[in-house]
Amino acid sequence: RTIRDELDEIYQTYGYFREIQKSVTRTGGHREIVAIMKGLRGTPPKVIGGHHVVEAIDRQTGEALNQRTDNIHSVAGDRGDILIFTFSETGHTRVTVRPSGTEPKIKYYVSATSVDQPGQTEDDLHRTKQAIDRMAEDIIDGMLNVSEEILG
């Protein structure tokens, strides 16, 4: 058996995960970053990259908005200038947005997993990997588009 065989067995047992990180330097500096974060907080997107957002979590306020029910509830955890948009009830598939603390950058972190996708099957791991990779790319591209739309 190869390392790839072992890794595929882990994916079949625990799910396939794809992580993408994108840092975007804003030419308008801190002003643009503040505008993006304010826009995302003021009107959280309901769809990102063609995928419906289930929950918008604001680590600054410690609150989460369920996009399906419009209910707001408290969330435990550290406070900070961080927004998280989840795409399932379990929240494993998500995009996290935060400004850099030292540079004029805004950072986006996508985590996508087959664990949150009931339509994905362990029987065809190749197809599952392609679907989750595509979903992660859709979400990162969609988040970048949403950010640009906020800036006009």
Q: For the segment 80-107, what is each residue's pLDDT rounded down to a tens digit?
A: 999 999 999 889 999 999 999 889 999 9
The count of C-alpha atoms lying within 13 angstroms of the C-alpha of 3, restricted to the half-sphere facing its C-beta, is 0
Half-sphere exposure at residue 77, Cβ-oriented, CA atoms within 13 angstroms: 15
Distance, in Å, from the CA atom of 90 to the CA atom of 32, rounded to the nearest integer, reads 32
Q: Please tell me the distance from the alpha carbon of residue 44 to that of residue 53, in angstroms, as a whole number.
A: 9
Q: What is the largest CA-CA distance in the chain?
A: 53
Q: Are strands 83-86 and 94-99 parallel, antiparallel or unpaired?
A: antiparallel
Q: Which residues pair with 23 in a beta bridge?
A: 107
> Structure pTM?
0.92
Say yes or no to pLDDT of 13 above 90: no
pLDDT of residue 125: 87
Torsions phi, psi for 86 (to 5 deg): -105, 155
**Average pLDDT score over the chain:** 93
- Calpha distance 148→140 (Å, rounded): 13
Place 33 in a pLDDT band, splitting at 50, 70 and 90. very high
What pLDDT score does 116 carry?
84
